[in-house]
């Protein structure tokens, strides 16, 4: 209808034919009104689309502790995976604040496994989070651990395997703060106590981060 009105006006103008002034004014104002309505609808649609994009961009934080640098590398790879869909910070446990944690939508925490548990710095952060502060937030936990095939002695391997790892402990603590576990606790492997990381673990960490996103 709008196009038809414009075509009528163009035909009158180009043909040089006479026309009824009343009809010309009526059609002109009608076309202008419809044009303004279309522009308004377009503007509203653009705002709605922009708002929708803003809502889907979540804030993620990866918190880690590291002794020999292996867990730090894993944390950075996880953050890189998260950044494919969201904004993500990667912060050491000793420098993160409770406000930074509670303001995030996705909280990921990791530690090397030391004496079958997470490091003291990691536990300190977990204890500092208020009860129920992670409600309606996605959480996940990871650790770095020895590759069992690299551990000498059957008895020693059994002790390590039965003793447990840091990631499940961290995941349980995050859930106790009302966080919703997005993925099962994950372990990434090192070849020896000081590393290095097993080949392919950085890529696996990045893929794990993408799954969290």
Residue boundaries of the structural domains of the chain: 2-54, 57-212
Residue found under tokens 């044009």: 35
Burial 118-127 (b: 16+ CB within 10 A, else e): bbebbbebbe
pLDDT value at 205 more than 60: yes
Q: Note the pLDDT tens digit of each residue in 148-181.
A: 665 556 555 565 666 689 999 999 999 999 999 9
Q: Could you tell me what percentage of the chain is helix, strand and coil, using 3-state DSSP and rounding each to the nearest 5?
A: 55, 20, 30
Q: Note the pLDDT tens digit of each residue in 36-47.
A: 565 456 555 665
Q: Which CATH class is domain 57-212?
A: alpha beta
Q: From 61, 62, 69, 63, select the one nearest 144 (Cα to Cα).
A: 69
pLDDT of residue 213: 87
């Amino acid at each position: 209808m709008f196009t038809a009105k414009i075509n009528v006006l163009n035909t009158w103008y180009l043909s040089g034919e006479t026309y009824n002034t009343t009809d010309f004014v009526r059609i002109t104002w009608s076309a202008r009104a419809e044009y303004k309505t279309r522009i308004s609808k377009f503007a509203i649609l653009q705002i709605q689309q922009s708002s929708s994009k803003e809502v889907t961009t979540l804030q993620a934080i990866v918190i880690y502790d590291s002794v020999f640098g292996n867990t730090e590398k894993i944390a950075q790879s996880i953050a890189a995976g998260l950044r494919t869909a969201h904004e993500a910070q990667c912060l050491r446990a000793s420098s993160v604040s409770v406000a930074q944690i509670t303001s995030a939508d996705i909280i990921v925490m990791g530690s090397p496994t030391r004496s079958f548990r997470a490091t003291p710095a990691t536990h300190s952060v977990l204890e500092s989070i208020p009860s129920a502060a992670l409600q309606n937030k996605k959480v996940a936990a990871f650790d770095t651990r020895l590759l069992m095939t690299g551990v000498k002695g059957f008895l020693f391997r059994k002790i390590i395997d039965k003793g447990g790892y840091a990631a499940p402990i961290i995941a349980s603590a995050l859930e106790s703060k009302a966080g919703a576990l997005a993925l099962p606790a994950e372990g990434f492997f090192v070849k020896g106590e000081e590393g290095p990381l097993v080949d392919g673990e950085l890529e696996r960490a990045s893929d794990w981060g993408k799954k969290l996103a």
